[in-house]
Every structure is written in structure tokens, then in C-alpha cells.
Amino acid sequence: MPPQRAALAALYARHRPFTVTFGRCGSFPGVLHLVPEPAAPLRALTAAAAARWPSHPPYGGVLGAVEPHLTVANSGGAGVHRRIAAQLTARLPVTARVSRVELVVHEEGRWLPWLGFPLGG
């Protein structure tokens, strides 16, 4: 395993699996997302990687502080997002167990899985 991957595996292995609940929709400009609660464990995972590799901040540092979220839609416009949010809200909350960190890459307009690391515990 390359040293960077080994370092990531060790970093994430220090964090225990946890449960999050998505109980409401939120939005950023052009993005509809679900809001995870609690968000602190997700922030801790991001902060650990950012502290280990400060020259490679999340999203290249262009977004400032990263707010944990689950992207639902990032195209289609506000009207489409409102319709999706109305349909989703009727099906919330959704609870999920987080036991892995999946790193993704943005290629050809799509987010694609790249590497996965289990959380410890």
C-alpha cells in the first residue's frame, strides 16, 4: 500500500463508527442536500485529514469551512430542488450507520468512488 493510503487508513481507523440521522433538507447555492445530525463526527473526520495534510484542504480551500451534508441534487435549478425537497421531506428522517470513509473524485462532471477506508472499532 502506498504511504499516503496507509496514512489515510491509519487516520480513519482512529475514529469509531457512528450513526447519523438526516431529518431535514438544506441548501447551498445551486445544491440541495440532507443535513446530518449529529454533524460533529463528520466534522472530526474532515478535520483530521485537513490537519494531517494542511497543504490539501477540502475542496482545495475554496469553500472555507466545510459543512457536512449529503448532496441530493446539484443541477436542475431552484424549482426542481423545491419539488425534490417536498418529496424527500415526506420520507424523512433517514438514519444511517457510518462505518467507512469513501473518497471520491470529480471526473467528467460526475463524482466517482475512488478509495474507501473502514473506521476503527
Q: Which residues of the chain have pLDDT under 70?
A: 121
pLDDT tens for residues 75-84? Answer: 999 999 999 9
| CA triple 121-8-38, angle to 5 deg | 55
For 36-54, how does the pLDDT look when each residue is reduced to its tens digit (9 = 90+)? Answer: 999 999 999 999 999 999 9
Task: Please tell me the distance from the alpha carbon of residue 62 to that of residue 64, in angstroms, as a whole number.
Answer: 6
pTM for the model: 0.88
Note the pLDDT of residue 94.
97
- Specify the pLDDT at position 17: 98
